[in-house]
Structure 1
Amino acid sequence: MLSLAWQTVKARTSGFIGAFVAILCGTALVAACGILMESGLRGGVPTQRYAAADAVVTGDRIVRPPGAGVTAFEHAAEQPSLPAALVARIAAVPGARAVPEQTFPAVVVGPDGQPLASKSSYGHNWDSAVLAPFTLKVGNAPKPGEVVLDSGLAAEAGVDVGGEVRIMTRSVPGTYRVAGVAEAAGEARQASVFFSETEAAALFGRSGQLSAIGVLGADARQVENVLTNDHVTVSSGADRSAAEFDDVSQTKSILAILAGSFGGYAVLVAIFVVASTLALTVEQRRREFALLRAVGATPRQIRKLIGVETTVVSVIAGVIGSLLGIGVSQGLRAAFVWIGVVPADFDLSISPIPLVAALLIGVGAARLAAWSASRRPSSINPVEALGEAAVQKRDVGKVRLAIGWVLTAMGLGATVVPLFVGGQIGAALAVSAALVLIIGLALTGPRVIGAAVRVIAPVLARSSGVSGYLASANALKNSRRLAAAVTPLMLAIGFAVVNFYSQTTFTAAVQQQTERSITADHVITGVTGVPAEIVRQIPGGTATSLVRTQVITASRTGDSVEVQSRPANGLDSTASGMVDLGVVSGSIDDLRTGTVALSDAHASWEDKGVGDTVEFWFADGQQAKLRVVATYEHDLAFGDYVLSAADARAHTTAGMDSAVLVKGADLTALNDLTSRYAGLQVTERVAAQDRSAERTQFLLNLVAVGVILGYVAISVSNTLVMSTAARRREFALLRLVGTGRRQIVRMMRTEALLTVGLAAVLGSLVAAVPLAMLALGLTGSPLPAGSILVYLGALAGAALLGLASVAVSTRLSLRAKPIDTIGTRE
C-alpha cells in the first residue's frame, strides 16, 4: 500500500500541492508557538549581576492556591522579599557562602536636574558586588555618605573618584561622594550604584528583609534541600537571569501564557484548514475512487490508501514546516521586541522537542482529516460511485448539519454574555462567540450558501449575459464547491474584524470611564515613580496616592480551581474628592490598611458585601485577608480591587506611587514642589491613567491575529487555486462548444465576485452581532469603537485575495489548447 500511495503522490503532484502547503504552514505555525513556550520556560538573557553565583535564592513568584492543578497558577507581578534569617541557614550548608542582596531604585541625577535614563538604574549593598563579580577599577569600598558607581554610569555622569553625584531613591535627591568606580565583565543591562551596608539597609526600607541571596560554593540542589518549605525559588544556570532582571521574569511568564493560548488557536485553525483542503483534494478524485470501487477495491482499502497518501505528504510537509517554524519564531520574537513585550537581548530556546511535537500534531491533524474525508468515497457501492462521480452530493450529512446548527445557536447565545459580563473577559467572550459562529456556519455552509445562491443566481443570469448565466448555473449546481471557497474568506474577515474592534471598543470604554472617574485638577507623575512623601507636601490643596498594581484571585468551580490576575489600584482615604468610583455600598472614606473595596460585579460573583472578609494575593504573591468597606461600579477605570495606597505600595518592588492626584492646589506651587525631585512632572487629570499596558496588549493581539490571518490567507488562496485549477476540463469543454475565452474569464470573475460578496456579508454578520452586544455592554452604544478604515481594509484585502487567486489560476488553466486539455485524465 505504501508503494501504491507513493506512486499516486508522484503521479498526482499537482493535486497534493494544496494539502502539502496547508500542512507545511500549519506545522510551521505550531512549531513557532512551541518554541515560544519552551523559551518561556528555558530562555532568557545572559546572567550579569549573579554571574559568579552558583545559585540565587529569591521569593517564590508562583501563586498556586491549595487544591489547584498543575496548570492552575499565576506569576506574581512583583518580586517578593526574603527573610534575612535565611542567610544563616544557607551558610550552614557545607562549603556554602551566602551573600545577602538589597536592591532598590537609585537614579543618578544629571546636571540638568533630570535622571540619567539611558538604562534602568538600581542601588545595592556593596557586599553583593562579589556576586557579579564587580571589582574596583579605582577607589575604595563605600562608607556612609559614599557610593561606588559602575564604570558605565560614572562615565555617563562625568564623575570620577572624589567627585560628587546627586542620587534619588525614594525621596529628594541626596549628594554622595564617589568612593570608587567598579566594573564587571560584559555589557551591563542595568546601571548599578553601590552603598555601604548600613545605608543600603536604610534605603531598602524593609527591616529584616532582603531582595535575594547569592550562594557561592554550593549547588542549587543542596540549597533547595535546606529551604524546602520556605516558599522560595532557587535558580541556577540560565534561570539566574530571571531572578536578576524583572523584565526577563515577566517575559518568560508572558511567553508561556501567550504561546499556550496562541498555540491553541493555531492548532484549531490548522486542523480546520488542513481538513478543508484535504476534503477538497479527495472530492476532486471522485472518479478515481469510483473506478477503484468498481474494479473491486474494498472500502477499507480506499480509506487506507487515502490515509497512507496523506501520511506521506504530511510527513514531508511536517518535517519542512517544523524547521520553517524556527524562522517563524524568530520573526515573532522580533515583533514582540518591537512591541516591548520581549527584551531585545532575550534569546529563544530552540530544541527538538517543539519541532517533533509540531510534526506529530501536523501528521495527526492530517490523518484525522483524511479519515473524515475518506468516509464518503469508501462507503458507497460501486454502481452508485460511478453514477455519483460526475455530480456533487445533493446535501451534507444530517449529523454535520445538526452540529452546525447547534454551534450557530450556541454562538448567538454567547454573544449576549458581554451585556452582563464586562471588562476584558467580555471582550474575550465576544471573540469566542464569533469563532463558534464561524465554525457553525462552516459546517452548515453548503445549506446556507445554497439558499443564498438560489436568491442571487436568477439576478446574475438576467443581468450579466452569457457569463452571468454560466456563473449562476455553476453556483446553483455546485453550491458545495462555492461554500468551500466562501468559508475561509469568511473566517479571515470575521476573525480579523472581531479581534480588532473588540480591543478598540474595550479601550474606548476604559478611556470613557476613566475620564468620568478622575475628578482631580492635576496629576503628578514621574519617570521611575513618585515618592510617597509628595502627598504630605502638597501646598494649599488635598492629594491622594494612586498606586497601580495587580492582585491574584482564586475561584473554585466544583473540583477545579481557576487562578486569575486582576488589575487593581491603591488609593488613600482622602481620594473621594478626586476620584468617582461610582460607590454602590459602603464608603471609600473607610479605606485604610487592612481593608479593600470591590467592584460591584466581582463582589456579586464572589458573594461578598461590606463587612465581609475577602481572600486574595498581593502583587508580590503574599496572601491577603482584608475586610470589604465599599463596592463600586467603575471597574473599567479602577479594576476589581481598590486597596489602601499603603497596602498596595508595600507589596511593590519600587515602593513608590504610580501617580499623585491633586485638587485645589496652585499650579505654580506644584511646579516648585516637583522641581526639587528629578523626573517629576505635573499633568492634567486624563494623564493619570497609564495606557501603555492596554496598548501593549492591543499590539500583542494584533501580531497574534496577523500571523493566524496570514496562514488563513495562504489557505484561502490555496483553496481557490485548487478548486479553479480542477476545472480545466470544464473550461476546455465550454470552449469546444463555442464559449469564448473572454466569456470564461468573465464567468470566473463573476463567480469570484459572488464568492467574495457572500464571504463579506457572512463575515461581517459573524463579527457584527458579538461586537454590537459587546459595545452595548461596555459603552451603551451598539456601534463598536475604532476606525472604519480597518473594516474596509479587511474587506478589500479579502476581495483582492479572492479575485487575484481566481484570476491567476483561471488564466493559467486557459493557456493549453482545449482539445489537448479535454483528453487529459482527471
Structure 2
Amino acid sequence: MIGFALKTLRHRKGAFAGAFVALLCAAALVSACLMLLETGLRGSVAPERYAGAPAIVAADQFVRESVDKGDGKTKTKAKPLTERAWLPGSVVAALKGTPSVSKVITEVTFPFGEYTGHGWESAALTPFTIAEGREPREAGEIVVDARAGLAVGARLRGHQVVGVTAQALPSQDTVFFSTAEARRLAGRPGQVSAAGVFPGLAEAPEGAVLYTGDERGRLEFLDAEQARVKLISMGGALAGTSLLVAILVVVGTFALSIQQRQREIALLRAVAATPRQVRALVGGEALLVGVAAGVLGSAAGLGLGLWLHSTFVALGATPANLRLVVSPFPAFVALPATVGAAWVAARVSARRLARIRPVEALGEAALDRGRLPWPRLAAGLAAAAGGAVLTLVLSGLSTEAAATPVTMLTALVWTISLALLGPLVARAVVRALPLRGTGVSGYLAARSLRAAPKGLAAVLSPLTLMVAMTCTILFAQTTAGHAAQEQADAGSLAGHVLPGAAASASAVARVPGVEAVTPVLRTSVRVGLTKYAAQAVAYDPRTIDLGVVSGSMKGFGAGSVALSRTAADGLGLAVGGQVRLTLGDGTPATLGVAAVYTRGLGFGDLTLPYELVAGHVDDPAGTLLVSAPTLTGDALAAAVPGSVVLDRAQAAEVSAANPQVTFVALGLIIAFTAIAVVNTLAMATSGRSKELAVLRLAGTTPRQILRMLRLETLCAVLTAAVAGTAISWVTLSAFGAGMTGSATPYVPPVAYALVLAASAALALAATALPARLALRTRPADAVSTA
C-alpha cells in the first residue's frame, strides 16, 4: 500500500498540501520549544571574570530541602537563590590554612551604576593588568576597564579615574576600587563574594561550594542560572502546549482531507478494497507526508529556535552568554511526534468510512447527513467534562507559575470539545442564521451550509482555536496586570517616588515640606522551596496602605512579617503564627505574622522589615516613597540633587511588568493557529472547485459565488467568535477568580475588536484567493477535471 499511497500523493498534491503545511509548522514549533528546554537543562556559561583562576570557592547559591519520598528514603531538592550568597571570612581563613593551597585571592562584587564594582585585590582572577596609570589606593579613586572610553584624570560618578586596564570583559563593564573602599561599599563586613584558589583544590571546606570549569561561569553570572530555570519551565510548557495544539490542528486538517476524498474512498470500497486496505492506504499517505514535513519542519525549527533565543536576549530575559544548545535531540523528538500525529489523525479520520459497506459509502459521499457517530459524541462530552474539571481547578490556583499552564490547557480542552461536537454546533448555527433574506448568494450559502454541516465544522475548529487561544493569552496578562495596578494605585499614598534614590531616606526626610519617607526594596524569598515576591519597607501608613484585613501594622518591625491573603492561605498561617523563610541571599529567618493584607498583587506576597533585608540584597539602592503634599516634583528634585523624582502615574508605568517575553513565546502558538486557519479555509475552498463549476454552469455569476463564499466564511467567523469568546471568558474567569479574587476578566475593548477583525480578515482572505483561482477555470473544464 505504500507504493499505491506514493502514487496517490503524486497525483493529488493539492489535497495533501494543507496537511503538509500543518505538519511542517507543528514540527518546527515543537522543535524550537524543545531547543529552549534543552538549553535550560544543559546550557552553560563560560567564565569571564574568573577565567584566570583554576578553582573558585563560594557560598552555596541554592536553597536546599530534603523531601520524603515515602519509601523510607529522602531526596534533596534545590532551587536557585535570587540574590548572591556571600562567603564567611572563616571559610577564607580555612582555605589559607590548607597545605595544598599556595594562594587565595578574595573578591567582593557590587553594583556601581551600570558598572560592576570590585576591589583591586581580585584583578588577578581574570587577570586584569594596568595599561595606563596606576592601581587605586584610597577612597575616591577607581580603575576602569579598556572599554569604558575614559582616560586617567576623568571622573565617573564622583570618583577620579587613576588607571585604565588593558583588558575588558565581553559582557560586563568593570570598575575597580581600592580593597578597603570596595569592602566598605559592598556593605558586607567580614564576608566576600568568592575566593580564587591557586593552584586548585580537591574539595571545598565545610559551608562552601567548589566551582571549576564552566561552573565558574554559573557562579559569576547568577542571572544565567535563573534564566536556565525559566527556560526549562517555559520550554517544557510551550512544547507541551504546542504539541497539543498541533495534534488538534493536524487531526482537523486530515479530517477535512479525508472528507474531500470520500467519493474516491467509496469507489475503492466498491471495487472490493477491504477496510484494512483503505486504512493502510490512508496511513501510508500520512506516514509519507509526515516524514517529509517532519524532516523539513525540524530543520526549520533550528532557525526558529535561534530566533527565539536572540529575541529573548534582546528583551533581557536571557543573558547573551547563555549559549543556545544545538543538538539532534529536538529533531529526534519532533519528527516521531509529527509522524505519529499524522498517522493517528489519518487513521481516525478514515476509520468510519473504511468500515461501512461500499453502497453506504457511496451514499455517504453523495450526501452529508450531518450525523455524529456515537464515539465522537461521547468523546466530545468527555472533553467538555474535562474542561469543566480544569476550570474548577484553575479557579483555585493563586500563583502564576501554577495557573499559566493550566490556563492554556483549559482553553485547549474546551476547544477540543467544540471540535468534536462541531457538526452539531454547525447544524444549530445554520438554522439560526437568517441567510435566506440576503438574495441569491444568501440562499445558496444557506443551502450549502445546511447540506454540508461538516464543512462548516471543519473550518470552525481552527477559527475557534485561534480566537480562544489569542484571547486567553492576551487577556490573562491584562487581567493580572490590571488587578495588580489597581491594588498598587489604591495602596500607594505617596505623592512622589524616587527610584534608585541617590539620597538617603534621612536626607530626604529633612527637606522642608516632606511629611514621611518610606524606603522600599524589592526582592524575593523562599518558604521551603516555594518562591514569593516580597518587599522590604520601613512601614509608614502615610505612604502605603496594604489593605490589612487581619492583625495590625502598628509596631511592625524586627521579627515581624505581613502576608498577603493568598500567601497566608497557601501557607496555612494566620496572625500570631510563625513563618520560617530564606532571604534572597540564603540567610534563614523566623518571623512572626503581624498582619494579613489583600493587596498582594500590587505589593508582593510578603512584606518584611527594611532593616532585615537591607543587608541581604545585591543592589541596596531601592525606592523612596515620599509624602509631601505641598511640594511639586520639580521642587523636591531641586532639594535632592542627583535624584529622579516621579509622580505616582510615572512610577506605575516604570514598575509595570513587561509581558513581552510571554507574548513572544506564546505568540508562536497564535501564529500557528493563524496558519492553520488559512490552511484549512484554503483547502476547504479549493476542494469545492467542482461545486463552484456546477453553479456557474447553472447560471450563477462569479460575483454571486464569491459573495456566497464570503457569507459562508462570515458565518463561520461569527460562530467562531462567539464560541472562542465563550471559551476564553470561562477560562479567564476561572483564572481571575484564583489569581485576583475576581471572576471578571479585564478585556480592553480595542484589543478584543482587533482580535476579531484580524480573524475575519484572515478568514476572508484565505477564502477569496483560492476561490478566485478556481473561478478562472472554465466551468466545463473544472467539472471534467474534478
Counterpart-to-counterpart distance in 1, 2:390 and 2:340: 31
Counterpart-to-counterpart distance in 2, 1:64 and 1:19: 48
The residue type paired with residue 132 of structure 2 is: V
Counterpart-to-counterpart distance in 2, 1:416 and 1:356: 36
1:592-631 matches, within 5 Å, as 592-631=557-596
Could you tell me which of 752, 756, 760 is aligned with 1:791?
752
The residue type paired with residue 109 of structure 2 is: T
Counterpart-to-counterpart distance in 2, 1:629 and 1:776: 26
Q: By how many angstroms is 1:393 displaced? A: 5.6
- Range with bigger deviation, 684-693 or 740-749: 684-693
Change (3 A) 1:566 1:690: farther
Q: By how many angstroms is 1:305 displaced? A: 2.8
- Do the aligned partners of 1:33 and 1:329 also contact (CA within 8 Å) in 2? yes
Counterpart-to-counterpart distance in 2, 1:811 and 1:71: 65
User: Corresponding residue for 2:423?
Assistant: 446
User: Corresponding residue for 2:554?
Assistant: 589
Could you tell me which of 69, 76, 81 is aligned with 1:76?
81
Could you tell me which of 360, 363, 369 is aligned with 1:384?
360
- Range with bigger deviation, 657-666 or 644-653: 657-666
- Do the aligned partners of 1:532 and 1:656 also contact (CA within 8 Å) in 2? no
The residue type paired with residue 53 of structure 1 is: A
Counterpart-to-counterpart distance in 2, 1:793 and 1:387: 43
Change (3 A) 1:374 1:82: farther
Q: Is 2:143 aligned against 1:149?
A: yes
1:329-344 matches, within 5 Å, as 329-343=305-319
Q: Is 2:71 aligned against 1:105?
A: no
- Do the aligned partners of 1:520 and 1:685 also contact (CA within 8 Å) in 2? yes
Q: By how many angstroms is 1:277 displaced? A: 0.9
User: Corresponding residue for 1:283?
Assistant: 259
Q: By how many angstroms is 1:371 displaced? A: 3.4
- Do the aligned partners of 2:283 and 2:346 also contact (CA within 8 Å) in 1? yes
The residue type paired with residue 683 of structure 1 is: L
Q: By how many angstroms is 1:25 displaced? A: 0.7
Counterpart-to-counterpart distance in 2, 1:568 and 1:42: 30
- Range with bigger deviation, 329-338 or 609-618: 329-338
Query: Could you list the runs of 5+ residues in structure 2 that have no partner in the other structure?
Result: 70-74
Counterpart-to-counterpart distance in 2, 1:364 and 1:90: 57
Q: Is 2:442 aligned against 1:460?
A: no
Q: By how many angstroms is 1:246 displaced? A: 4.3
Deviations 1:725-782 (A, max 9, x none): 1122222333334444333333222212212222222222323444467678888998
User: Corresponding residue for 2:224?
Assistant: 248
Q: By how many angstroms is 1:385 displaced? A: 2.6
Q: By how many angstroms is 1:216 displaced? A: 4.8
User: Corresponding residue for 1:726?
Assistant: 687
Q: By how many angstroms is 1:403 displaced? A: 3.6
The residue type paired with residue 532 of structure 2 is: R
Counterpart-to-counterpart distance in 2, 1:42 and 1:481: 46
1:174-573 matches, within 5 Å, as 178-184=161-167, 188-218=170-200, 223=202, 225-226=203-204, 230=207, 232=209, 234=211, 236-237=213-214, 240-343=216-319, 347-392=323-368, 394-408=370-384, 411=387, 424=400, 428=404, 433-456=410-433, 459-461=434-436, 463-526=437-500, 541-554=515-528, 564-572=530-538
- Do the aligned partners of 1:322 and 1:358 also contact (CA within 8 Å) in 2? yes
The residue type paired with residue 591 of structure 2 is: L
- Do the aligned partners of 2:58 and 2:208 also contact (CA within 8 Å) in 1? no
The residue type paired with residue 717 of structure 2 is: V
Q: By how many angstroms is 1:671 displaced? A: 4.2
Q: By how many angstroms is 1:337 displaced? A: 4.0
Indicate the SS of the match to 1:575. Answer: coil
Q: By how many angstroms is 1:669 displaced? A: 8.6
- Do the aligned partners of 1:551 and 1:617 also contact (CA within 8 Å) in 2? yes
User: Corresponding residue for 1:24?
Assistant: 24
The residue type paired with residue 478 of structure 1 is: A
The residue type paired with residue 681 of structure 2 is: L
The residue type paired with residue 506 of structure 1 is: A
Change (3 A) 1:304 1:154: closer
Counterpart-to-counterpart distance in 2, 1:267 and 1:390: 35
- Range with bigger deviation, 768-777 or 287-296: 768-777
Q: By how many angstroms is 1:63 displaced? A: 4.0
- Do the aligned partners of 1:415 and 1:769 also contact (CA within 8 Å) in 2? yes
Counterpart-to-counterpart distance in 2, 1:202 and 1:779: 43
Counterpart-to-counterpart distance in 1, 2:368 and 2:56: 67
Indicate the SS of the match to 1:134. Answer: coil
The residue type paired with residue 315 of structure 1 is: V
Indicate the SS of the match to 1:588. Answer: coil
Indicate the SS of the match to 1:653. Answer: coil
Counterpart-to-counterpart distance in 1, 2:252 and 2:374: 18
Indicate the SS of the match to 2:435. Answer: helix
Change (3 A) 1:640 1:403: farther
- Do the aligned partners of 2:525 and 2:531 also contact (CA within 8 Å) in 1? yes
User: Corresponding residue for 1:752?
Assistant: 713
- Do the aligned partners of 1:90 and 1:96 also contact (CA within 8 Å) in 2? no
User: Corresponding residue for 2:645?
Assistant: 682
Change (3 A) 1:813 1:154: closer
User: Corresponding residue for 1:577?
Assistant: 542
- Do the aligned partners of 1:294 and 1:383 also contact (CA within 8 Å) in 2? yes
Change (3 A) 1:641 1:151: closer
Change (3 A) 1:805 1:121: same
Counterpart-to-counterpart distance in 2, 1:345 and 1:5: 48
User: Corresponding residue for 1:170?
Assistant: none
The residue type paired with residue 716 of structure 2 is: T
Under a length normalisation based on structure 1, what TM-score does the superposition of the two structures give? 0.85
Indicate the SS of the match to 1:65. Answer: strand
User: Corresponding residue for 2:72?
Assistant: none
User: Corresponding residue for 1:115?
Assistant: none
